[in-house]
Amino acid sequence: MKCDKDIASRIETAYGVKDYRYVGGAYGLTNEVEIMNEIYNNGPVVINFEPTFDFMYYSGGIYHSKEADWVHDHSTRPEWEKVDHSVLCYGWGESDG
């Protein structure tokens, strides 16, 4: 797929950001409930993450990296996380129960 740098000139409606902040006040100081409240009260939020190799096989549903063990085993979160992907989160729910 070729990157189309002129796409902005063909977009009928463009949206921008007038204000932004960290949900929770600072990097790493939020949780799922605060993000859900932010979406409910103020609309979509940008979520950043660093996917592992398995992300290239992602095709839909809720992405779950097998290598983010600290999230799932409730161990100590690293002070900083490298991130290189961003997604717009506009809701929440369940996949297959």
pLDDT tens, position by position, 43-54: 999 988 878 788
Predicted confidence at residue 93, as pLDDT, reads 84
Low-confidence ranges of the chain (pLDDT < 50): none
Instruction: State the DSSP code for 23.
Output: T
The tokens for 64 are 């779950």
DSSP state of 71: H
**Residue 44, pLDDT score:** 92
Per CATH, which fold does 13-89 belong to?
A: Cathepsin B; Chain A (3.90.70)
The pLDDT of residue 83 is 80
CA 51/CA 63 separation, integer angstroms: 9
Which element (helix H / strand E) includes 85? strand 85-89
Which pLDDT score is estimated for 28?
78
**Residue 39 phi, psi (nearest 5):** -65, -45
pLDDT of residue 74: 66
